Every structure is written in C-alpha cells, then in structure tokens.
Structure 1
Amino acid sequence: MTDAQIPVLRNPWMVAAFEGWNDAADAATSTVDHLIEEWDAEVFAELDPEEFYDFQAVRPVIAPSENGVREIVWPTPTLYFARPPRMDRDVLLLRAVEPNYRWQTFCSSVVELAQRAGVQELITLGALLADTPHTRPVPVTGSTNDPVLMERLSLDQSRYSGPIGITTVLGDVAARAGLATAGIWAAVPHYVAEPPCYKATLGLLGAVEDAVGVGLPQGVLREMAEAWQRGADDLLGQDEDLLEYVQSLETEHDAGDLPEASGDAIAREFERYLRRRGDDIA
C-alpha cells in the first residue's frame, strides 16, 4: 500500500487480536469481530500470508464466493478501518491467525502500516484459560507503557512470566517505535472453555472502552453473555462434582477480593454505562 492509498484518518487508535494460543474460547478475536460488524469496518490493508504461515498447520479453505463460485481463502492477516458514529477518532482493527514464522518482521510490518496511518495508541487483546469461577466477573489483567492508559484502565497489572504469544511481541515492537501500548487479557473458566465465551468478550470490550474513554457499541453482546451464563449454570446443575469444584473456586475468589477492588469495579462499570448513555443521547 502506498501513502497515496492510505485514507486520511482522524487521530486513529488500533486494536489487534489473533487466533490461536492467545485466544482462549475465541474471546479476543470475537471482540474485534464484534467491532468490525458493529462499525461496518472496511479493509485497510492485507499482509501476504505466504511470508508468515505454515499452510500445513494453518490450512487455507475452499468456500463459495459472493457470486457462488468456489475459491480458495488464504489465512490473510487483515487490517480494517472504521469511522465510528458519534466518535471523533477513527479505528484500525487487526484480525489474524498467529503467524508461524518471522514474528518480528510481521510485527514491524503491522507497526509500519499503523504509523503511516497516524496511529499513536495500540491495544492488543488476549484470553487465557484459568481457575476462575464463571459465576463471578471475568478477571481482566493488563500492562501498558503509557501513564495515561494506565490511569484509564485501572487494571490489575499482569505478573506473568513465561512463554509469550504474538500479542506481546507486537506490543513490544510498537512500544519501541514510540506508540503507547496496552496488552489486555481476559481469564476464561477452563471448565467451560468451548468457544464462544461471550462473557469474556464483553469483559475485553469493557476494558477497551476504558482505554479509549468513549462508549463502545454492545449490540447483542450483553444478551449473549447472559445466555452463556445461563448455559454454564445449567452445566453445573447436571454435574455435582463440577458444582463442588466451582464452589471451591468461588470461596477462593471471594476470599481474595478486597472491598476496595470491588468498589473500583462497580465504579468502572457505572462510568461505562454513563459513556454509553451519553453516546445514545448524542
């Protein structure tokens, strides 16, 4: 893509999510998919999958096109852009499968495109399986290199050390290039890990909303999260051993929660409500 082909964007920010190791229950990519759909996002740029994927591990598929002709669909990393209504900033949305090869080259290519478009803030999304009860709010942790994002997010800072995914590398490359970055992770209950997990997706959407300080469209996501919750509750009703296990997780969770932390969580949710209400009125 040449500079002449790059549309003029209004102070854009960027969100990225990847299928694979970083995406328990598809919670992270579902967040980006939700925003692409809600905002009718258009393709901004595509990266050549030939450079980054092992096609025996990430196979292309054959599917009918819009005109009914079957064609091969390659696992192409795609950047979308959107101009959300009632928002004075545009958005880039990256949706991709985690690459098999050349991570640093891949991330440098993404960051270069982002910088040419004027992006100054990058948010990467991830989801992991954890010993957390589905009956409590989804734990969301994160890290950032920017004091403004730190203040907006008010997240428990991640203390993780160990193997990393592409989101961490992308955040590091972006930070070295001078972008403000935040990596946000949702914890998915491991005993209900089958995708989708709309409750975790809703938790990630709320954290992104906090990061940018504007209301984001929920669409049917809240209703889907409530339906997911009911389904998980029904599962417990059919398995007494699982019920006892979840009750033990609840005890551990509640013993570790401080009243201040609960108060902060309630305050953040109320602030999100006010932002969305303000957007609806506008």
Structure 2
Amino acid sequence: MTDGKGFLGGRLMVVAFEGWNDAGEAATGAVRALKELLNVGEIMAVDPELYFDYQFNRPTVSTNEEGLRVIEWPSARLYAPESPGTEGVPLAEDAELRVSGTNAGNIYLLIGTEPSRSWKSFAAEVTDAALAADVAGVVFLGAMLADVPHTRPISIFVSSDNADVRGELQIERSSYEGPVGILSILSDAAEAAGIPTLSIWASVPHYVHNAPSPKAMLALIDKLEEVIDVSIPRGTLVTEAAEWEAGVDTLAGEDEEMAAYIVQLEQARDTVDSPEASGEAIAQEFEKYLRKRSDGRDGRADGRSGPEGPRQ
C-alpha cells in the first residue's frame, strides 16, 4: 500500500480452503470456477507430509484419462497467470469463456485443504511464495453456516484488518472473537509481511449444510468481481443456484417444522433489511426471535459458529 497504487494496483491472490472455512463448498467452488476461467498454471505446492493428518484428510484415488489409477494427496497449490499483467479479453468478445478487465492478468489463486498441523510453518511457506510472486494483496474467501433463510439473497460480509484497505474500499473491520481457521492465520502472516488483506464471507443456511451451495458460491463471485474490478462469466451457475433453491423449497414443503422455521428466519431477515429498521429495532427483533427458540440449540448441525465472519 506504500506505492500509491492502492489495494487494486498490483497482483492479487485469491484464497480458499476446504474444511472449517468452506460451508457449502462455496469458497473453494468460487476459486475453482476462477481457475477454469483464468489462464493460470501451478507454481507452488506444499509438501503434504508436513501439514496433513491422513486419517483426518484422507488421500483419494481416481482413474485418470489414460485409465490409470491415481492417488491425490491433500495439499495447497498456488496458481499464477501464464501472462502476468496482461489485460483480459474484452467481455463483449469472450463473455462466456474468460475473466476480463484490466486486473484479469494480475489474479493469482491459492486453493487447498485446511492443514491439520504446523499452521505457523504453513503460513510462513505460503507468505514466502506470495512475496516471491510479488503479490501486492490477498483476498480470502470463506463461507460459514448461519441462521439465514435460503429464500433470500445470501448475506455477504467484507472486512479487513488493514486500515488502508478499509479506507480505500469503504469496508468494515470484523469484531469477531473466538476460534479461527487457517484463513485468519494466513491473514495475520501476510499483514506482518506487509501484504494487505481483506476477507469476503458468505452465510450459508445451516439446515442445508450437507450439500454444496451454488447460490452462496454465486454470491461470493458477485462480490469478488466488485471488489477486485474484473468481469467474471457466471456460466451455468445462475441456473444451478435457482435449481438449488427450488430443491430446498421442495424439501421444506415436505417438512412442516422446517417450513415454519424458514418462515421465522425470513421474518427476521426482512426486519433487518427493511428501510425503517433502526439498530434498536433490529436488536429487539432478534432478541424476540432467540427467545422463541427455547431449546438451547445454536442453530447449526455441527455445533459451530461461523469462524471469522460476522456473527448472525
């Protein structure tokens, strides 16, 4: 941020990890979609022996195009533009195939599985790779399970611990305190090394936590496009998001208790989004909503709160 170019003035690394930070596979799904659309190649992969417990993150086996059985080990890989700094193809010429815009040739991608151990060493290795690639900013994508209805737009929260980034992009600083995932560790290491960071989090309805959420993935891509100033083709994602919502509607239609619960979530969300809602009114509505839920559950099937994102 000291070169006067601002957060968008240099190379940006977009990061997502499978695991605790990836409800509905929304964050990794968004980065994988970018990988398919960008002209990037792998420049670094961590040694899985150093960072993963294979009984927790097991290797997988599959058959490749040559008919050979291949074992895939959990890892994290960094991808770089084949032609760094090159402006993307104009959207009108290649709207369905390529990310476009002046920043398209400055996007690096880091995607992998959240490591099981040695997080400090892992963060140091990733930060060194980012510095070697002359990365000027990092965008972390995350998704958390939350008490939100699937029928409303996915809630997105953008934050940064870097005062310059907050001032430039007019975003907030997260007030969350509690357990964190690898994204927070990487953010802390990057900031310590002088690389500014920001985080984009999506809230995924907890009652559909077992399936990927294309609607949350789409919401992350929408916000990422806005933040990093590129145009990202959506492909079939809009249709998949609509089909996902319709599928959850069908499930709710067969379960009266689930349907009633979704109505409560809708009412709470609509109150927050209403133009006349004041901070006090919103607080009172949520207090009323929480009192109704007297069973003591936190609303999440796995008992977790959202890690680094906003509290719902």
Secondary structure of the 1:120 match is strand
Distance 1:102 1:59, change over 3 A: same
Structure 2 counterpart of 1:87: 101
- Look up the match of 1:63: 62
- Retained in 2: the 8 A contact 1:127–1:187? yes
Matched AA of 2:124: S
- The SS at the match of 1:194 is coil
Relative distance call for 1:92 and 1:21 in structure 2 (3 A) is: same
> CA separation of 1:155/1:233 partners in 2, compared to 1, >3 Å: closer, same or farther?
farther
Shift of 1:153: 5.5
CA contact (8 A) 2:165 2:198 kept: yes
Structure 1 counterpart of 2:139, from 108, 123, 142 = 123
Consecutive unaligned residues in structure 1, runs of 5 or more = 1-9, 262-282
User: What is the alpha-carbon distance in structure 2 between the residues aligned to residue 156 and residue 245 of structure 1?
Assistant: 30
**In structure 2, what residue type is equivalent to 1:158?**
S
Sort the Cα spacing of 1:139 and 1:117 in 2 relative to 1 into closer, same or farther, 3 A: same
Name the CA distance, whole Å, in 2 between partners of 1:246 and 1:173: 40
Between Structure 1 and Structure 2, the one with more helix by share is 1
Counterpart in 2 of 1:186? 202
DSSP-derived class of the 2:187 partner? helix
2:136 matches 1:137: no
Quote the Cα distance in structure 2 between the aligned partners of 1:232 and 1:155: 32
Residues 252-272 of structure 1, C-alpha deviations (whole Å, 9 max, x = no match):
1111224289xxxxxxxxxxx
CA pair 116-224 structure 1, distance change in 2 beyond 3 A: same
Corresponding residue for 1:102? 118
SS of match in other structure, 1:37: helix
Count of paired positions: 252
Cross-structure match for 2:32: 33
Structure 1 residue aligned with 2:293: none
- Fraction of identical pairs, as percent: 40
Q: Counterpart of 1:234?
A: 250
- The amino acid across from 2:74 in the alignment is P
Equivalences for residues 12-27 of structure 1 within 5 A: 12-27=11-26
Aligned pair in 2 of structure 1 residues 192, 161: CA closer, same or farther (>3 Å)? same
1:177 aligns with 2:193: yes
User: 1: CA distance between counterparts of 2:250 and 2:173?
Assistant: 33
Other structure's SS at 1:259 match: coil
**Alpha-carbon distance between aligned partners in 2 of 1:135 and 1:71, rounded to the nearest angstrom:** 41
Q: Distance in 2 between matches of 1:116 and 1:260?
A: 50
Determine the structure 2 residue equivalent to 1:276. Answer: none
Q: Residue 199 of structure 1 aligns with which residue?
A: 215
Q: Could you tell me how far apart the structure 2 residues matched to 1:235 and 1:11 are? A: 46
Query: Which amino acid letter does the alignment assign opposite residue 87 of structure 1?
Result: G
**Which of 219, 226, 229 is equivalent to 1:213?**
229
Larger radius of gyration: 2
In the TM superposition, 1:36-55 aligns within 5 A as 36-55=35-54
Answer yes or no: is the 8 Å Cα contact 1:153–1:207 preserved in 2.
no
- What residue is the counterpart of 1:248 in the other structure? 264
TM-score, scaled relative to structure 2: 0.75
Q: Which residue of 2 aligns with 1:280?
A: none
- Partner of residue 290, structure 2: none
Q: In 1, distance between residues paired with 2:229 and 2:44? A: 26
CA distance in 2: counterparts of 1:64 and 1:27, whole angstroms: 26
Shift, 1:151, TM fit: 5.7
Give the superposition deviation at 1:149: 4.2
> Do the aligned partners of 1:152 and 1:211 also contact (CA within 8 Å) in 2?
no
Q: Which moved more, 1:67-76 or 1:187-196?
A: 67-76
When residues 14 and 50 of structure 1 are mapped into structure 2, their CA distance, relative to the original with a 3 A threshold, is: same
Q: Deviations over 1:42-81 (max 9, x none)?
A: 2121111111011111111222233222232211211112
Where does the alignment leave 5 or more consecutive residues of structure 2 unmatched?
A: 1-8, 90-99, 278-312
Segment of structure 1 superposing worse, 86-95 or 203-212: 86-95
Deviation at 1:176, TM superposition (A): 1.0
